[in-house]
Structure formats: structure tokens, C-alpha cells
Chains A and B, each alone.
Chain A
Amino acid sequence: GESVGLHLPTLSVQEGDNSIINCAYSNSASDYFIWYKQESGKGPQFIIDIRSNMDKRQGQRVTVLLNKTVKHLSLQIAATQPGDSAVYFCAEKEVPQGTALIFGKGTTLSVSS
């Protein structure tokens, strides 16, 4: 099936920098997108979601941008902290009930002090 991919498998930043994690998706029918954070030894945790009728959504220190024209999704983390070190996954879904999340391969974010 179609899948969601990430541009970079790893990203290293300094504490205090802003981080941008990118994701490309291929299913034009997907209209709901989620970013997850997974710390070592834990299951994925929800960060933020966005619907296809939006192009930007903000949370606490995080912003998700959606560009449907080029099928691109990004997660921006402001003032990155060591606790943000984790694997980040984007996931897509078609909104009608009955479809499952499709995950990308993940980007490992490393934050150094």
C-alpha cells in the first residue's frame, strides 16, 4: 500500500535550537495526520494532529505544517530541550471510520546540551 516517509532518519540539534522534522506522504486521499513521539522503551505518544482543511496548527512549543500541494508535513519544535530526544513518527489516515493509521519510518532526534 501507499506509505508515509520521512526525509531524514536522524537529526542532531543543540539545546535551545529550533528543530524541523519533515515527512512526505503519498496517499492523496489521506486527510488526517498525526505526529507521535516515541521515547526509548515506551510506546508512541501523541504530540499533535492536523486535518487536511488546515495548513498549520500550533501546540505547546510544537507546530505542524501541512502542504497538500506537495504532500508534505513538518513538525517544528521550538527551543528544543534534551527531553525532546526521541524518535518522531508522522502518520496519516483517511478520515472515514474504518481505516488504520499508516506510519512513516521515523526520525531520531538527538539534542545535545
Chain B
Amino acid sequence: DVKVTQSSRYLVKRTGEKVFLECVQDMDHENMFWYRQDPGLGLRLIYFSYDVKMKEKGDIPEGYSVSREKKERFSLILESASTNQTSMYLCASVHEEGAFYGYTFGSGTRLTVV
């Protein structure tokens, strides 16, 4: 089975801290995505990557950066955490082949910034 693993289920960080959220997929997928999920707002795209060392901004990239040094790992970085970044963060990996798109999500990391 396809698997996307997010390293932490719950995190509590202080305002101003640098935070790393890790996501690893074991499917050799090229495409990986980071979303944040907030009540009433659904899932919003932060950043995505189509290949190693490539990154593209999503709809809400401000306050975030990403790193993709290896194909299987896509990291989301909060350079200086703020309370408005308290949210559920979801990583996804996708395989695109012809007419088929297999998106697989991790279980999420619930981040609280205090």
C-alpha cells in the first residue's frame, strides 16, 4: 500500500521558533504537496514540489518555506512560528500517469503555536 508518513501527529511550539514538519513517502512519487486545514476554510495549498530541489508556491506560502533534497522527503519550514500558523498540516503525494491521479495523504500534524 501507498504510504505517506508525517513525523509528528502533535506539536506545540513557541512563537518565534523555527519549526520543521517532515513528510516521507515510500512510493517514488515525483509530486508532493503541503496543505493546511482550518475549520471553515477547508484545505489550502501552501507549497508543492514536482521534483527534487524544485518547489512552487501555492495559495498561501507566506511565512513558510519548503525543502526537497531527496525524492521521498518534503519538508515544510516555519521560519518564525506565529500563533496564526496554529493549524492542521497535511502532506500529500501524488502519482500522475495518463488519466489517473493517485493522491495519498498523510495523517496530518496538528501544530499549536503558543
Give A residues with C-beta under 8 Å from B: 1, 9, 32, 34, 41-46, 49, 51, 89, 91, 93, 95, 97-98, 100-106
CB distance from B109 to the nearest CB of A (A): 10
Residue contact B103 to A103, C-beta cutoff 8 Å: no
Residue contact A44 to B105, C-beta cutoff 8 Å: yes
Residue contact A43 to B107, C-beta cutoff 8 Å: yes
Number of residue pairs spanning A and B whose beta carbons lie under 8 angstroms apart: 51
B33 at interface by CB-CB < 8 Å: yes
Residue contact A103 to B42, C-beta cutoff 8 Å: yes
In the complex, what residues of A have CB within 8 A of residue B107's CB? 41-43
In the complex, what residues of A have CB within 8 A of residue B101's CB? 32, 34, 49, 93
B48 at interface by CB-CB < 8 Å: yes
The chain B residue with its CB closest to the CB of A95 is B99
A102 to B33, alpha carbons, bound, how many Å? 12
